[in-house]
Amino acid sequence: MSTSGTHERSSATTTRKWICVAVALALAGCATTSPMLKPDVAAASAWNEPAPSNGASVSPDWWGTFGSAELKQLVEQALAGSADLAIASERVRQAEAQVRIAGASLFPTIDLGVGTSSRSTSGNGSSFTSNASSATLSASYELDLWGRNRSGVRAAQSSLQATAYDRDTAHLTLISGVATSYFEVLSLRSRLAIARENLAIAENVRDLVSARVRNGAASSLDSARQEATVLSQRAALLPLEQQERQTLAALAVLIGRVPEGFDVKATGVADLAVPAINAGLPAELLVRRPDLASAEAQLTGANADLAAARAAMLPSIQLTGSAGTASAALLSFASGGASSTIGLALSLLQPIFDGGRLRGQKSIAESRERELVENYRKAILAAFKDVEDALVAASHQAQQETLQQEVQTQSREALRLAEVRYREGADDLLTVLDAQRTLFNAQDQLAQLRRNRLEAAVSLYKALGGGWNAASAG
């Protein structure tokens, strides 16, 4: 009895010593970590292209500023039925599961095993039956001396954040895509209306030319020229109709619907509002875009992976314990012949030679962190460019639209005067044809500029993050 007690006290003392050593070593665990690298990008104090001083700030429901109830409905349908957004959400759930898996390494593992067997032996006219049952409870726990497991958890959490931000980016991209496709459909319908109006004008002029030919005031050449103009105007309708149907089908798929039977009610872009947008300060952009937040989260995860790679080169200590009982009775541990065992072990493992595998993994982790720093810096520069491009487009295309409206007015008046002079015989048909082409081009350009202004506003909303911020991201 005394010998057994002395042995147990000695074993306990040894275990406590090892634990004390482990605690002391854990204090040096910070040696495996290092400050996270940051991209060196200085934000300017103002944008190159000044934004409207009376512009509204970007709100999370920015698509309502275009004044289209139908667009709001389409966005709601897209958020509910988009396959891309559903895929991004599932990736977030997968990342959440990875965090739980990584977090399990911080806790001990406990296993329970139960077994039973029966064996019969016969020979020389006799038989013998032996029964056995056993139950074992085992536990193991790795002391996270250098923070390798904690770094793994931190890397998984950073990956979860990055995936969530990617989902938010997909959310913003989806809404922007719906708005852009919707505006494209309406623009094509406006251009089709203009083309049909010009076809009607060409047909009226053709009738005028035919009357003059019958009266001998014009030649058959004038009739052939105007007939060619009418045919050309009819042919111009076909590619616009094709684009309108294809864009409408793309919009249907974007919101999660089949193209068959899908349509929108609006017939043009004239009734849509072009919002004035306050771009804020360049420095604010870094916390307003989910793609930049994702790049930063990926960099944080790479820093954690580097800490884990460094920790893998250091000793690891694992505690294991087991308790079991065995009995000669089948499915029973209550007989007097049952025996019990208890075991406790502590093991230390220090990598000595692995052919450079661990050092190679550390080098990869270091390079990966530097790569993501540059990736983050590139994303920041691209974000600034996106805003500048959108601001320039919004400003200059607004001026272009104003000028183009005057061009259209003058072109319409020129065609009217050309028709009058042609009726009076003061000018030939070529003057009328030229006036027709000028008016059609002016109207078509005006419709496209309106669409461009709407799309520039969408691009600016998207470049500014669409009202996103990290505090409200979920």
Average pLDDT over residues 347-365: 87
Residue 367 has pLDDT above 70, yes or no: yes
- pLDDT above 60 for 25: no
Task: Give dist(CA 198, CA 231) in Å, integer.
Answer: 12
Of the given ranges (79-88, 260-269, 334-343), which has the lowest mean pLDDT?
334-343
Q: Which residue has the higher pLDDT, 18 or 66?
A: 66
Q: Are 277 and 56 in contact (CB under 8 A)?
A: yes
pLDDT value for 3:
47
Q: What fold, for 48-112+148-317+364-463? A: Outer membrane efflux proteins (OEP) (1.20.1600)
The answer to whether residues 81 and 256 touch, using CB atoms and an 8 Å cutoff, is yes
Lowest mean pLDDT among 136-145, 272-281, 363-372, 407-416: 136-145
Mean pLDDT of 356-373: 91
* pLDDT at residue 250 in the model: 96
Residue 182 Cα distances to 65, 72, 446, 450, angstroms:
15, 11, 18, 13
What CA–CA distance (Å, rounded) separates 294 from 179?
Answer: 24
**Mean pLDDT across the chain, nearest whole number?**
87
pLDDT of 184-204, one tens digit each? Answer: 999 999 999 999 988 998 898
Hey, what's the torsion of the CAs at 59, 65, 69, 71, to 10 degrees? -80
Is the distance from CB of 346 to CB of 317 less than 8 angstroms?
yes
pLDDT (0 to 100) of residue 84? 92
Domain boundaries, the chain: 1-28, 48-112+148-317+364-463
Q: What is the pLDDT of residue 424?
A: 84
Q: What's the whole-number mean pLDDT along residues 86-112?
A: 93
- What pLDDT shows up at residue 169? 96
pLDDT, residue 244, reads: 96
Cβ(147)–Cβ(29) under 8 Å? yes
